[in-house]
Amino acid sequence: MKFRAFGIEAKHAALFAAALLVDQATKLWAFARFEGVPRNEHISVIGDLWRFQLAFNEGSAFSVRPQDLVPWIPQTLFFALMGLAATVALVWFYKKAAPEDGFSRCGATLILAGAIGNIVDRFRLGKVIDFVDWDFPDVSIGDWALQRWPTFNMADVFVLTGIGLVLLAPFFLARRKGSAKEG
């Protein structure tokens, strides 16, 4: 028998807690390491290809500013409402996923942990701490050239990984069901 609290399996609750802890710990490190230093200071991990550099995001993914669509709502309230809606939707999705659909459940857990991690920043600072900065080799198509990837954080990594798991889940579930029928 599996332990469940509020309909969430213990392993997924532990995954949520670990992801949230990693996100907040790395953001606290970045903030403490770069606080008060010039914005262009960075730590090279692999030259200019991968480095750590403090940045703040007052928008959402890729610095898009959906809050500007409703300027009469304070920014913190806007993101709190969006976060609440996302939390409700993800918990509903988690509970509706079949117990054997571990990819979907892990994906929803990671998305939720990343979303909550960024919401914590918004309440604490009014913006999200980003610090992972990647570059690309020169890529251009006609007049268009790929620039540096937007600076991100571990919460963003968890959200994208979670989305990937949710999108791949039907393929793995179908494959598992196909193998069970053959056996």
Give the tens place of pLDDT for each residue, 116-139.
999 999 889 989 999 999 887 666
Which residues, 6+ apart, have CB-to-CB distance to 11 below 8 Å?
none
Global confidence as pTM: 0.83
Residue 61 in this model has a pLDDT that exceeds 90:
no
- Domain residue ranges of the chain, discontinuous segments joined by +: 9-34+44-61+92-138+145-177
Q: Work out whether the CA dihedral 182, 178, 93, 60 comes out positive or negative.
A: positive
Mean pLDDT (whole number) for 23-35? 94
- Is-contact 48 40, C-beta < 8 A? no
Residue 167 pLDDT level (bands cut at 50, 70, 90): very high
Residue by residue, what is the 3-state secondary structure of 91-155?
Answer: HHHHHHCCCCCHHHHHHHHHHHHHHHHHHHHHHHHCCEEEEEEECCCCCEECCEECCCCCCECHH
Burial of 142 (0-12, 13-18, 19+ CB in 10 A): exposed
Provide the annotated active-site residues. Answer: 130, 156
> For the chain, what is the mean pLDDT?
84
pLDDT at residue 1 is higher than 50: no
One-letter amino acid for residue 170 of the chain: P
The more confidently predicted of residues 178 and 78 is 78
